[in-house]
Every structure is written in C-alpha cells, then in structure tokens.
Amino acid sequence: MARRLQLSPGSLSRLTAPLIAGGLLREVGEHNDGRVGRPTRLLDMDVDAKHFVGMKLRGNEIIAARTNLRGEIQQHRSVQIHDRSPKTVIGQIADLAKQVSEGLDIDGLGIGIGGLIRDREYVVDARFLGWSDLPLARLVGEATGIPTLVDNDLVAFTEYEHWFGEGREDDRFAVVTLGVGTGFGLVANGAIVTGDDYGIGLVGHWPLDPTGPLCFAGHRGCATSVLNSDAIARHVAEALNRPVDFEGALDLAADGNPAARRVIDDAGRGLGRLLAAICNLTLPQRIIIAGEGVRLAYIASEAIHAGIAADRDPRATTPPIVLGTKDNVDWCRGAAVLAIQAYVHGKLPVVG
Amino acid sequence: MARRLQLSPGSLSRLTAPLIAGGLLREVGEHNDGRVGRPTRLLDMDVDAKHFVGMKLRGNEIIAARTNLRGEIQQHRSVQIHDRSPKTVIGQIADLAKQVSEGLDIDGLGIGIGGLIRDREYVVDARFLGWSDLPLARLVGEATGIPTLVDNDLVAFTEYEHWFGEGREDDRFAVVTLGVGTGFGLVANGAIVTGDDYGIGLVGHWPLDPTGPLCFAGHRGCATSVLNSDAIARHVAEALNRPVDFEGALDLAADGNPAARRVIDDAGRGLGRLLAAICNLTLPQRIIIAGEGVRLAYIASEAIHAGIAADRDPRATTPPIVLGTKDNVDWCRGAAVLAIQAYVHGKLPVVG
DNA sequence: ATATTTAGTTTTGACTCAGAACTATAAAGT
DNA sequence: ACTTTATAGTTCTGAGTCAAAACTAAATAT
C-alpha cells in the first residue's frame, strides 16, 4: 500500500526512484483487494540493506548487538569489564563491534551509557565507570573505523521506542525503566525532551511513599528505597529473615507470600504515584514500562493502578500502559537507533 | 536590525515586500554603527496595525482587554456576571467587546475559560459556569461579527508567555499559576503540551506535604489544601482565631507573625516540591509563576527553594524562576494571543 | 474485444530559493 | 571634490520542488 501521505503521486515517483535505485526501497509484489483497476505496487524498505551496531555500557559489562535499519537485532554478544580504563574499554568495544558485525559492512555505531553525555559525543560524567570529559564517540570511531555516536542510555532507549517501538504512533509518551535504578524518558510534541541535567537520574529519589523506608541519601520512601530491585530484594529478605534476590521476591509475591506481597504492592503503589505525576504534568498518550525489573509491573498491576488513582482526578483518563521485556539487549536497540537516526538525517560523523 | 535568519538577502526582500505593502512591517529609520558602507534599513512590525480582544471568563466576572499585535493591552474593562445562562453571558461578551474596541476594527477575539475546551471552539465542560457542550466560539462570533476562538485559560496564558512573555526565548518552560486554584502549563520542544484531559485541573490535588491538612476531597497536604489562597487564609485565620483574608495572611507573614509565617512557609515548601517535580520530569529552561496569588511566591521565596532542594538531586541545576504580576488583566493577554496566533497562521475562523 | 477503473510515470507550469549581477549609500583615500 | 572601497539591498537567473494534467499500464466489467 503505497500511501501517499500528503504527497502527489508524481512527487512520490520522483522521490522513491533514487531510493529504489540505491537499494533502500524495494518492490515487494502487488496488491489488489478485489477492486477493478491496476493493482498497487507495494514498496517496502529493504531493512537489511544497512547494518548498525548498538552497545550498552554498564559498570561491569558491555552488551552489543547488530541491527538492521529498523533496529531489529540480528546478532548480539556481551563481554565483562574488568579494567574500567577508557583505553581498555574502547579496545573491548572495538573487538565486540568486529564480532557482532560478522564481516558485514557497518554504517554506524551507537553507544548508550548511564550518565551525562554532551552532543552525542562527549562523556561528561559516567560515575559508574569513573569517566568524565571523555570524547568517547571520536575515540571509538578512530578505534573501529565506524561513525560513532554516544548518548545517555535512557535517551537512546526512548528514541528507540519513538522511532520503532511502542511509541512510534504517538506524539507524546513517557518511558519508565525499572531495575537497579529508576529511569524516565519523555517525548512531547514529537521529539524527546532533554536538558543539561538529563542523565543525573532525576527521578531516582522521587518521593513515592511518605511512610516508606529511608534510602542511603536519607529520602523517605523515594524511588531508590521503594522501587529499586535491590531495595525490594533487601526488604523481602529482611521480612523473611533469609536471603532473597529480586526475582525470588517477585516469585514469592506471585505465590501469595504476604510479606513479599506487601513489599511488592508498596512498590507498585509507589510506581503508580510516579505514573500519576507523569500523567498530570505531561499528559502522555502512552506510558511504556521496561527495564530489567519490569516484571514488578506485571505482578503489581493492581497496586500500580491504585497508586495512579490516588493521585489523579477521577475524571482524568489514564493512557494505556504497555509493559516491555526485561531483556538487557533491548538497550542495544536504543543505542543502535542513535546511529540509525544519524544515518537517516545524514548526520553521521566522519571517521579518520 | 534586519537579521536574516537563515535566509538569503534576496529572499528577505521578496518576503518583506508584501508585508510592508500590507502595512504589517514598516521601515523605522536607519542604523550604522560607525562602519563603512550603506546603513541597514531597520524593519519593525507595526504592532498597532491590527487589534485584538482577549477575555477571561470567571464564575462571576468577565474581564476584557483590547491589545495590539504583540498582546500589549490598550484598553480594558470588566463586568459582573449575574445570570450564567449562555445567552446572557454571550450578550455581555458582545457588549464588552464593543466597549473595549472603541470603534476600532478588531481582527480577532480570544476567550479563556477554566475548563475543558475542544478545538478552540467548544466548551466541553466549564463547571464554574455550569456550561457543557456549548459551541461558544461560533455563538460569540455570530453575536459580535468578530472571528472568535476559545481555549482553556491556562493554555491561553501559556501561549502568551510563549509568544510574547518570559518564555519567548525558550524552547521549554513551565507556567504555574497561584490563586483560588493551582494551574500548570508546559511548553516543550517549542510547542505547548496539551491533551484531552487538559482543563480538569490536573495539579489541583498534587501531593505536596504528607503531614499537611486534608482538602475537601480527602487528600492530605494536596495543592488545594496547602497552596490555594482560600486555604491559606483559612489556616491563618484558624491559627489566630480571627478572620483573615489571603492578602492579610501574606501581610502578617511578611511582618513576622509566627503562625502566618508557618502557614506561608508550608505553602512555599509545598510549591517548591511541585516545582522540583516539574523540573525533574520536564527539564524546563525557565519556570514562570503568576496568578492572583503570586505574592505568595515573593514572600515564601526561601521556603520554595528549600522545597525544591528537598526533591532534587544536588547536582541538578535549577532553572530561573520568574515571578509575574497578580493582575487579572494578564489573563486577557493570553486570550488575545489565541486570536493573534490564528491571525498569524491564517487560521481565523470565518464569521457569519 | 472494448470500455472502465485504478495505479503509476512523465510533462508542464507555478513557485521558491540561493547566488550572481547590479544599484544605493555610506566612509576612507587621494 | 573626486575616486575607491565597504556594506546594504534589489533584481535577475538558474536549479530544484511541487501539484496538476496528460499519458501509459494493468487490472476488471460488459
């Protein structure tokens, strides 16, 4: 279905011709829904015409994936970080890029990092790696020969959802990630909302429960103390007086263990209040919850909706809340989208 | 200073010629900063070439103002509402429009209402007037002969700040209004953020203080119970056991009365926490505080900053907070901007 | 077999833009 | 006082884009 969005058929021919010649678009058969007349020639992007690599840097691990033009993962691999010095890590990045490319030509490399990044190039501050003021994109570009872009991992993840994920139809949506930290990303008026502070972790100590436990920084019932997977595991372990990890805590809650249920529901209610705040301030058309700890949102669904209801006007409509996977490779798709966007916009940096 | 923003001088000539001929642009002398060469011919908008009227509808009052193309007020007037039937109010609107126009040709009329408005035309729900599903813009257009647009009062106010006010340089800013209700407006990525729920009063019951008083709806320490001017006056009056109004309460706090100071500081701290939430979620470049109750923000400045600090990462930078006036006529400028925008975009509705 | 309907391409004319050529107006040099 | 130089601003020109029209292609309907 060659839908001509606001474009005359003449212009469409003119514009698609070079893309077909260049191998980016391809005719994929014909379509005729029983009506009279010549059938339409279906055009589809040849999403495998180009390849990109996305990587997520964590404190002790690099995850890498090769994707096509749509951010779909074709190959992935990870490696442990033992030495956090930029030189060593950049060497590991270059090796990993070579491994996941499998000899294919890579058009761009995107890297997502939890921290403060400037201009999709400089790591201003990434404390979990001990890095600051590092021109990472240029260094990796030189080491790999691939045009490279860097950004905050949540920016990258949000861009993925915006271009190819659950938010692709929306002009306005929010992303919340659960795990060892709580992340937030926002798209409004068709573009991601960022600022100089982005990457500090602005919702990490959001007050969720005035009667909740204290976090290390002294906030009562903040996201870190109520919602983080470590905190949840710890609270359940303390209640049961035996070691429990995050997944174990969720299992117990799902099986009806009252102590675990209470901790999980407190977390769910807190998350709901955060979602209510997001809805009240940013009026999203959709909320996407993802991250390693997303299973919490599946198990505490009722508590989440109770938390939302507590802080919203009863007349307000709550947008659909979609839950993603806990797969860590998803972060790589986000990182790859940084490169895909630069490719599409003709903004890929020149290497060498 | 004819700055050609991304435009060749040739195009600039072509584009400005019809605007000068149409009377919208005007040459206002020459300028030569001592350098060699022909001096630049300065162009300025003839802001008085067109006239607009903005009105704010409240429960018992209509405020109207005539403005120029820049939303600057040239004349204003108000009238009491005794009968809230649409027919009567529309008649008053028409009278008021005629009075403030003073015989001048009015190019557009904007109306701001606290409530749910659709398509800048329909009043879906304005409970303080008891109106619902009223095609107000069309009816007023017919009654006055002036192309008319309606929108939520906060949308209108935010658009004013966006086009001509404190936010005109920013791509991203927030507006908070204080008074008998708490209002919130957001501009992100260069455009206002609204949704179907806008107009319900989404921050009205925002939780500000877990130990605060209860509001009528049963929320502890919500914006209605902590921040509303009525609530503040009541709390001070109860503490002093004598009648006090909002301005009186502020006067007492400014003079150092401990009970008043405590109520005002609680309100300021609560407002600060709301501002912190806004900053954490929307990363504004500026926060504008206005409304009838804005004096609270002047008097409780320290408490506000303490409230912000409580809920923000210490590394985060807080944007400039600018305080507006408590003048009710400001709302009319917002309403007029609705018409100015429609005029500039060529979207003024046809009347008759 | 011909007509009709829908899809898609090529042609055409209107329009926009940047750059070049040109005109206007100042200060600086002789 | 006249010429030169620098800057501002207009008009002209050629490239590019677009929608509409004319035309070609491929299906069903009669």
Write the DSSP assignment of A158-211 as a string of letters. HHHHHHTSTTTT-SSEEEEE-SSS-EEEEEETTEE---TTTTS-TTTT-B--TT
Q: Check whether B42 has a pLDDT greater than 80.
A: yes
Q: Check whether A87 has a pLDDT greater than 70.
A: yes
Q: Check whether A33 has a pLDDT greater than 60.
A: yes
pLDDT in the model for residue B133: 96
Question: Is A101 in contact with A88 (CB distance < 8 Å)?
Answer: no
Q: Check whether B23 has a pLDDT greater than 90.
A: no
Nearest Cα of chain A lies from the Cα of B35 at a distance, in angstroms, of 37
CB within 8 Å: A283 and B193:
yes
Q: Check whether B352 has a pLDDT greater than 80.
A: no
Lowest-confidence range among A98-112, A188-202, B80-94, B272-286?
A: A188-202
Q: Check whether B1 has a pLDDT greater than 60.
A: no
Cβ of residue A189 lies below 7 Å from strand D: no
Span A16-20, mean pLDDT? 88
**CA of A348 vs C1' of D20, distance in Å?**
37
pLDDT in the model for residue A5: 65
Residue B16 in contact with partner chain A when CB distance is under 8 A = no
Nearest Cα of chain A lies from the Cα of B129 at a distance, in angstroms, of 18
**DSSP reduced 3-state for A344:** helix
Set of chain B residues whose Cβ sits within 8 Å of the Cβ of A283: 193-198, 202
CB atoms near residue A190 (< 10 Å): 11
- Percent of chain B topping pLDDT 70: 99
Contacts of A15 (CB under 8 A, 6+ apart): A7
Spatial separation of the C-alpha atoms in residues B293 and A172, rounded to whole Å? 31
- Percent of chain B topping pLDDT 90: 80
Contacts of A149 (CB under 8 A, 6+ apart): A108, A109, A110, A111, A120, A121, A137, A338, A339, A342, A348, A349
Q: Check whether A3 has a pLDDT greater than 70.
A: no
pLDDT in the model for residue B99: 98
CB within 8 Å: A283 and B201:
no
Q: How many residues would you count in chain A?
A: 352
pLDDT in the model for residue B5: 64
Using CA atoms, how far residue B48 sits from B2, B15, B51, in Å, is 20, 21, 7
Spatial separation of the C-alpha atoms in residues A216 and A220, rounded to whole Å? 10
Q: Check whether A313 has a pLDDT greater than 80.
A: yes
Higher-confidence position of B36 and A318: A318
- If residue A287 lies in a helix (H) or strand (E), which one and from where to where? strand A287-290
CB within 8 Å: B282 and A186:
yes
Higher-confidence position of B112 and A347: B112
Contacts of A98 (CB under 8 A, 6+ apart): A144
Spatial separation of the C-alpha atoms in residues B228 and A336, rounded to whole Å? 48
Cβ of residue A82 lies below 7 Å from strand D: no
For residue B253, the one-letter residue type is A
Spatial separation of the C-alpha atoms in residues A297 and A300, rounded to whole Å? 5
Spatial separation of the C-alpha atoms in residues B200 and B217, rounded to whole Å? 15
Nearest to B161 by CA among B290, B296, B283, B66: B290
Span A212-222, mean pLDDT? 90
Architecture of domain B52-159+330-344: 2-Layer Sandwich (3.30)
Spatial separation of the C-alpha atoms in residues A196 and A124, rounded to whole Å? 11
Q: What residues pair up with A112 in beta bridges, in sequence order? A: A56, A151
pLDDT in the model for residue B10: 85
CB within 8 Å: A186 and B210:
no
Topology match between the domains B52-159+330-344 and B169-323: yes
Contacts of B100 (CB under 8 A, 6+ apart): B53, B64, B65, B66, B75, B76, B77
Nearest Cα of chain B lies from the Cα of A5 at a distance, in angstroms, of 22
Set of chain A residues whose Cβ sits within 8 Å of the Cβ of B188: 186, 188-189, 193
Cβ of residue A1 lies below 7 Å from strand C: no
Nearest Cα of chain B lies from the Cα of A31 at a distance, in angstroms, of 38
CA A272 to chain centre: 20
Spatial separation of the C-alpha atoms in residues A251 and A264, rounded to whole Å? 10
* Mean pLDDT value across chain B: 94
Nearest to A52 by CA among A334, A336, A332: A336
Cβ of residue A8 lies below 7 Å from strand D: yes
Question: Is A220 in contact with A212 (CB distance < 8 Å)?
Answer: yes
Residue A200 in contact with partner chain B when CB distance is under 8 A = yes
pLDDT digits (tens, 9 = 90+) for B104-151: 999 999 999 999 999 999 999 999 999 999 999 999 999 999 999 999
- Percent of chain A topping pLDDT 90: 80
pLDDT digits (tens, 9 = 90+) for B44-93: 888 999 999 999 999 999 999 999 999 999 999 999 999 999 999 999 99
Cβ of residue A36 lies below 7 Å from strand D: yes
Cβ of residue A29 lies below 7 Å from strand D: no
Residue A281 in contact with partner chain B when CB distance is under 8 A = yes
Span A40-55, mean pLDDT? 91
Only one residue has tokens 């190819």, namely A164
**CA of A228 vs C1' of C30, distance in Å?**
82
Strand C neighbours among A 33-52, CB < 7 A: 35-41
Q: What is the CATH number of domain B169-323?
A: 3.30.420.40
pLDDT digits (tens, 9 = 90+) for A140-195: 999 999 999 999 999 999 999 999 999 999 999 999 999 999 999 999 999 999 99
pLDDT in the model for residue A4: 60
Gyration radius of chain B over CA positions: 22
Q: Check whether A34 has a pLDDT greater than 80.
A: no
Residue B317 in contact with partner chain A when CB distance is under 8 A = yes
pLDDT in the model for residue A276: 97
List the nucleotides on chain C closer than 7 A to a protein CB.
Answer: 4-12, 16-20, 24-28
Q: Which of B202, B283, B311 sits opposite A195 (nearest CB)?
A: B283
Span B308-331, mean pLDDT? 95
Interface probe for A, chosen from B155, B273, B313 (most Cβ of A below 10 Å), is B313
Residue A216 in contact with partner chain B when CB distance is under 8 A = no
Q: Check whether A202 has a pLDDT greater than 60.
A: yes
Higher-confidence position of B3 and A217: A217
Cβ of residue B20 lies below 7 Å from strand D: no
Which nucleotide is closest to the Cα of A12 by its C1'?
C8
List the nucleotides on chain D closer than 7 A to a protein CB.
Answer: 5-13, 17-21, 25-29
Q: Where are the domains of chain B?
A: 52-159+330-344, 169-323
